[in-house]
Amino acid sequence: MAWVSVISFAVACFVSSAAGASFQVQVGENATLTFDPLTITAAVGDTVTYNFHPKVEPPNFKLSQTLIDHARTILSHNLLSKTRAIPLLGDLTAASPTTWTITINDTKPVWVYCGQTTGNHCQNGMVHAINAPTTGNTIDAFKAAAKSASTSSSPPGGLPIGGLRKTSVQVGPGGNLTYSPNNITALVGEVIEFAFNPKNHSVVQSSFQDPCHPLAAGGFSSGFLPTAVSPSGATFQIVINDTKPVWFYCAQTAKNHCQSGMVGSVNAPTSGNTLEAFIGLAAKASGSTIEPNAPLGGILTVNGTVVTADIGNVFDPSNTSSTNTNTTVSNVPPPGSSIPPNVASMAGGYQPSSYNWAPSISDTATELLELINFLDNVLLEVLVNGHNNLTTGGWSHLYPDTITGTIGSMMAQALVHRATATDSLSHYSKKLNGLCSYSFPISGAEDFVHVALTLTLLEVALFLDVISVVSASDPWLIGPISSTLGSKSRMAGMVNMMQNHIPAAAPREVMLPAPLVYSYVLNHYIVPNSCPDPLPYTSIPPLTVTSAPVSGTQRLTSVTVTFDASSKNLSMAWVGPWGTVEYTPVTVTSNTQGTASVPGDLSGHVWGVLVNSTGASAQDLPTITVAGPELVWVTQP
Ligand SMILES: *[C@@H]1O[C@H](CO)[C@@H](O)[C@H](O)[C@H]1NC(C)=O
Ligand SMILES: *[C@@H]1O[C@H](CO)[C@@H](O)[C@H](O)[C@H]1NC(C)=O
Ligand SMILES: *[C@@H]1O[C@H](CO)[C@@H](O)[C@H](O)[C@H]1NC(C)=O
Ligand SMILES: *[C@@H]1O[C@H](CO)[C@@H](O)[C@H](O)[C@H]1NC(C)=O
Ligand SMILES: *[C@@H]1O[C@H](CO)[C@@H](O)[C@H](O)[C@H]1NC(C)=O
Ligand SMILES: *[C@@H]1O[C@H](CO)[C@@H](O)[C@H](O)[C@H]1NC(C)=O
Ligand SMILES: *[C@@H]1O[C@H](CO)[C@@H](O)[C@H](O)[C@H]1NC(C)=O
Ligand SMILES: *[C@@H]1O[C@H](CO)[C@@H](O)[C@H](O)[C@H]1NC(C)=O
Ligand SMILES: *[C@@H]1O[C@H](CO)[C@@H](O)[C@H](O)[C@H]1NC(C)=O
Ligand SMILES: *[C@@H]1O[C@H](CO)[C@@H](O)[C@H](O)[C@H]1NC(C)=O
Ligand SMILES: *[C@@H]1O[C@H](CO)[C@@H](O)[C@H](O)[C@H]1NC(C)=O
Ligand SMILES: *[C@@H]1O[C@H](CO)[C@@H](O)[C@H](O)[C@H]1NC(C)=O
Helix (H) and strand (E) counts for the chain? Answer: 11, 30
Q: Given a cut of 90, is residue 215 above it in pLDDT?
A: yes
Confidence of residue 508 (pLDDT cuts 50, 70, 90): confident
The torsion defined by the Cα of 593, 599, 603 and 607, in degrees rounded to 10, comes to -50
Q: What is the mean pLDDT of the chain?
A: 81
Please check whether the domain covering 22-147 is classified as CATH 2.70.98.10: no
> Where do the CATH 2.60.40.420 domains begin and end in the chain?
22-147, 166-315
Task: Quote the CA–CA distance of 49 and 167 in Å, as a whole number.
Answer: 12
Say whether 328 sits in a helix, a strand or coil. coil
Across 73-84, average pLDDT? 28
> Who's near 472: CB < 8 A, 6+ residues apart?
none
Atom of ligand 3 nearest to the CA of 178: 14
**47 CB within 6 A, ligand 4:** no
Q: What are the φ and ψ backbone dihedral angles of 199, each rounded to 5 degrees?
A: 105, -155
Give the pLDDT confidence score for residue 162 in this predicted structure. Answer: 76
Task: Quote the CA–CA distance of 496 and 482 in Å, as a whole number.
Answer: 21
Residue among 567, 569, 587 whose CB has most ligand 11 atoms within 8 A, to mutate: 569
Among all bound ligands, the one having the nearest atom to the CA of 331 is 8
Specify whether the CB–CB gap between 206 and 219 falls below 8 A. yes
Q: Residue 598 gets which letter from DSSP?
A: P
Assigned superfamily of 166-315: Cupredoxins -  blue copper proteins (2.60.40.420)
Give the pLDDT confidence score for residue 505 in this predicted structure. Answer: 56
The DSSP-derived string for 128-187 is EEES--SSSS-HHHHHHHHHT--S----SS----SSEEEEEEEESGGG-S-EES-EE---
Q: What are the φ and ψ backbone dihedral angles of 221, each rounded to 5 degrees?
A: -155, 130
**226 CB within 6 A, ligand 4:** yes
Gap from CA of 435 to ligand 10 centroid (Å): 6
Across 240-258, average pLDDT? 96
Of 347 and 281, more confident: 281
| 286-295, 317-326, 329-338, 372-381: the lowest-pLDDT one | 317-326
Gap from CA of 174 to ligand 3 centroid (Å): 6
Highest-confidence segment of 18-22, 229-233, 393-397: 229-233
Q: What percentage of the chain reaches a pLDDT higher than 70?
A: 81
Q: Given a cut of 90, is residue 528 above it in pLDDT?
A: yes
Distances (CA, A) of 22 to 18, 26, 303, 631: 12, 13, 15, 53
- Give the pocket of ligand 6 (CB within 6 Å): 183, 270, 275-276
Read off the pTM.
0.51
Across 517-528, average pLDDT? 96
Gap from CA of 255 to ligand 4 centroid (Å): 12
Task: Quote the CA–CA distance of 537 and 530 in Å, as a whole number.
Answer: 16
Give the pLDDT confidence score for residue 393 in this predicted structure. Answer: 65
Task: Quote the CA–CA distance of 195 and 204 in Å, as a whole number.
Answer: 14
Query: Which regions of 37-134 does DSSP assign to beta strands (E)?
Result: 39-40, 47-52, 60-62, 83-85, 98-103, 110-113, 127-130
Give the pLDDT confidence score for residue 157 in this predicted structure. Answer: 64
Across 362-384, average pLDDT? 95
Across 562-567, average pLDDT? 70
Of 583 and 339, more confident: 583
Across 91-107, average pLDDT? 74
Give the pLDDT confidence score for residue 322 in this predicted structure. Answer: 33
Distances (CA, A) of 196 to 88, 295, 303, 553: 28, 14, 12, 52
| 156-170, 190-204, 476-490: the lowest-pLDDT one | 156-170
Give the pLDDT confidence score for residue 440 in this predicted structure. Answer: 93
Condensed to tens digits (0 to 9), the pLDDT of residues 18-57 reads 457 899 998 888 778 889 999 999 998 889 998 887 653 3
| 155-159, 322-326, 423-427: the lowest-pLDDT one | 322-326
Which residue(s) pair with 526 in the sheet?
Answer: 438
Q: What percentage of the chain reaches a pLDDT higher than 90?
A: 49
Fold of 341-525: Ferritin (1.20.1260)
> Who's near 98: CB < 8 A, 6+ residues apart?
52, 89, 165, 166, 167, 168, 190
Q: What's the burial of 331, exposed, middle or buried (CB within 10 Å: 0-12/13-18/19+)?
A: buried
Give the pLDDT confidence score for residue 565 in this predicted structure. Answer: 57
Give the pLDDT confidence score for residue 229 in this predicted structure. Answer: 84
CATH number of the domain located at residue range(s) 544-633 in this protein: 2.60.40
Task: Quote the CA–CA distance of 249 and 4 in Å, as a whole number.
Answer: 23
Condensed to tens digits (0 to 9), the pLDDT of residues 255-312 reads 999 999 999 999 999 999 999 999 999 999 999 999 887 888 888 887 766 665 443 3
Gap from CA of 377 to ligand 10 centroid (Å): 13
Condensed to tens digits (0 to 9), the pLDDT of residues 417-465 reads 999 999 999 999 999 988 899 999 998 888 999 999 999 999 999 999 9
> Where do the CATH 1.20.1260.10 domains begin and end in the chain?
341-525
Residue among 330, 389, 443, 498 whose CB has most ligand 9 atoms within 8 A, to mutate: 389
